[in-house]
Amino acid sequence: MRTDNTMPRGLPAAQGLYDPRNEHDNCGVGFLCHLKGRKSHDIVVNALKMVRNMDHRGGCGCDPDTGDGAGLFLQLPYKFFRKAAPACGIELPEDGQYAVGMIYLPRDAAERQQVEAAYEQVVRDEGQSVLGWRTVPVMGETLGKASKACEPVMRQLFVGRAANLKTDQDFERKLYVIRRCADKAVAALNLAEADSFYTASLSARTILYKGMLTTSQLDHYFPELHDEDMQSAMALVHSRFSTNTFPSWPRGQPFRYMCHNGEINTVRGNANWMHARQMLLGTGVLGKDIGKILPIIDESGSDSAMFDNCMEFLVLSGRPLHHAVMMMIPEPWERHQHMSQAKKDFYEYHACMMEPWDGPASIAFCDGVSIGAVLDRNGLRPSRF
């Protein structure tokens, strides 16, 4: 049974035949991209159309206006923020020199101020600058009773990049550290509305618009998604069906690097092994910040959220995105007659480092630069293109 500090947010305690450790998802997932990386609003429009067409893959309660979750993952729309940020008194530096965090905050104004102050302090402690906050316009009246009852306040935090961070990936690593430190700082506040705090995304490359929504509510709840300057060259979408789980705002997908349909059956063992290995980690590119991001796996998350935790760590510790995916979901390579020896050697080498994250799952992944998808090792959750 979970201890209080690892209880999934918004879920009841273990009781009778129910145990929150057995949470799994069955969902709709998809992505669009322009093969030459050309940004446009059409990508956003068509991604929203795609997620609406996956309505049958999403769940809702007896209240049909309360959905299990729907979300959209985009490249950071610089053109849109050039227009939206100054209206909030925020002066932006050049594209790539700032990040935007999509942050869920408590409804209580006093608690919200405490969270924002704690977050700002972490940003400054990590050598970055706070450019300002923007309240995200939402249409809360579109929500059902259950989702409205736990609706957070959505605010965007703009973070300026320090001059000593030479590469874009260095900045992404620092934002990773900031987010993990902010989680700990806010947890230490012991707020009454602690479950309302969640950082959906904090990146200079990507942003997430998601929530406890139905697929048809997503673009109505976030009206700025219809703005012509909301542009991206790639987009992930997700429609959540919590067949044996409880919906919540933070559990909506996509996550920060992926979204998936299915379940990771081996997640308990995967999380335990990651926890066991993290004390042996070398510093590498994360340097002295390595201790700030531990534990790597947030066990209050779902199976897909824990998968995302691991993928994020592998990418930000220096591996290309596709490399991390192949480590986590290797093909059945041992007796593959047509696989090259070099590829078999790759899988055999990494089998010494990590066990497969196994189970029936179709996973789409993106880091704002490249995008792709992968099936489970047995192809039990097929996808098509």
List active site positions.
Answer: 27
* Number of other CB atoms surrounding residue 3 within 10 Å: 7
Distances (CA, A) of 200 to 100, 280, 336: 11, 29, 39
**Per residue in 65-80, is it b (16+ CB within 10 Å) or e — as a string?**
bbbbbbbbbbbbbbbb
What is the β-pairing status of strands 206-211 and 70-75?
Answer: antiparallel
> Cα 201–97–156 angle (5° rounding)?
35
Reading the block at residue 95, the tokens are: 């594209």
Torsion sign across C-alpha atoms 252, 101, 118, 185? positive
Cβ contacts of 229 within 8 Å, gap of 6 or more? 41, 77, 79, 80, 82, 83
- The rounded Cα 75 to chain-centroid distance in angstroms is 13
Helix (H, G, I), strand (E, B), or coil: what is residue 30?
strand
User: How far apart are alpha carbons 293 and 183 in whole angstroms?
Assistant: 10
The closest of 48, 9, 70, 32 to 242, measured between CA atoms, is 70
